[in-house]
Chains A and B, each alone.
Chain A
Amino acid sequence: MSSKKTNLRKGLINESSHQKGKLNEGYAHNVRIGSKIKDEGICSVPEQETVPPMPKIVKPKK
């Protein structure tokens, strides 16, 4: 289980089958500096539970 978790964090395997509906992005995006620091226990800030829907994107007229 722990190696599966590590692989998820490293983005080696797709999260979708394990963490359905949590974040709709792969963990590949999650290889960020912040996660690394937090995992080491320097600062314990939890992740947000839900990501608000994206605003309507207005493209500038050309």
Chain B
Amino acid sequence: MGHFYWTRLTQKKFELYYFSEHFKRCVKINRIINILCAIASSSSIAAWATWQQLSFYWGAIIVISQLIIAINEILPYQSRIKILSDLSAELTPIYYDMEKSWYRVANGSLPEDKIYDICYAYLKQWNAIEEKYFRDDCLPISEKCKSEAEKQKNNYFKSNFDLEEE
């Protein structure tokens, strides 16, 4: 019975790390686009003043970079930055409650049906929050985020729990 709860607990920690990795990825993409566009438009203005014979090209670079900056505001990862940060803020306390309950599950002080009840109550809460934030959007599966989340989750449980040898 403990294994049933343990599997859900570790999955939820994995999900938190997965969301965190997606968040970092979205912030990184946003930052790169903003920096590149800022460099492109400002350097084009300087270059235009120096090499006026290529004014068409400098003008085109400025227009394109301004266009990218405008489009950037409506790209999905832009909204995901807010969604993922709010989502993690709401899910983390539920995870800690789950982890707190784990100790009662592990020491055998709870009957089996009570463990099921507790576990499904947490899952229900968890999914209600996920559904609230992902009503209009869904996260793309990223293998990089997945493997990084997997690694971080394993490190977390290794350093915070007295794990049995495999």
CB-contacts of A9-62 with B (<8 A): 23-25, 29, 32-34, 37, 41-60
Does B109 lie at the interface of the complex (its beta carbon under 8 Å from any beta carbon of A)? yes
Bound-state Cα–Cα, A59 to B2, Å? 13
Contacts A37-B130, A48-B14 hold; do A59 and B135 have CB atoms under 8 A apart? no
Interface pair A51/B6, CB less than 8 Å apart:
yes
Interface pair B11/A47, CB less than 8 Å apart:
yes
CB-contacts of B113-141 with A (<8 A): 120, 123-124, 126-127, 130-131, 134-135, 138-141
Chain B 150-166 interface mask (CB, 8 Å, partner A; 1/0): 10011001100111111
Does B25 lie at the interface of the complex (its beta carbon under 8 Å from any beta carbon of A)? no
Bound-state Cα–Cα, A60 to B44, Å? 71
Chain A interface, >50% SS class: loop
Residues of chain A touching chain B, judged by Cβ–Cβ distance below 8 Å, are 23-25, 29, 32-34, 37, 41-60
A-B contact pairs, 29 of them (CB 8 A): A25-B3, A25-B4, A25-B7, A29-B4, A33-B127, A34-B126, A37-B131, A42-B138, A43-B130, A44-B139, A45-B18, A45-B19, A45-B139, A46-B141, A48-B10, A48-B11, A48-B14, A50-B154, A51-B6, A51-B7, A52-B10, A53-B165, A54-B3, A55-B162, A55-B163, A57-B107, A58-B106, A58-B107, A59-B108
Residues of chain B touching chain A, judged by Cβ–Cβ distance below 8 Å, are 2-4, 6-8, 10-11, 14-15, 18-19, 106-109, 120, 123-124, 126-127, 130-131, 134-135, 138-141, 146, 150, 153-154, 157-158, 161-166
Known: A34-B123, A44-B140, A56-B163. 19 other contacts (CB 8 A): A23-B7, A33-B124, A37-B130, A42-B138, A44-B138, A44-B141, A46-B18, A48-B10, A48-B11, A51-B6, A52-B157, A52-B161, A54-B163, A54-B164, A55-B161, A55-B164, A57-B2, A58-B107, A59-B107
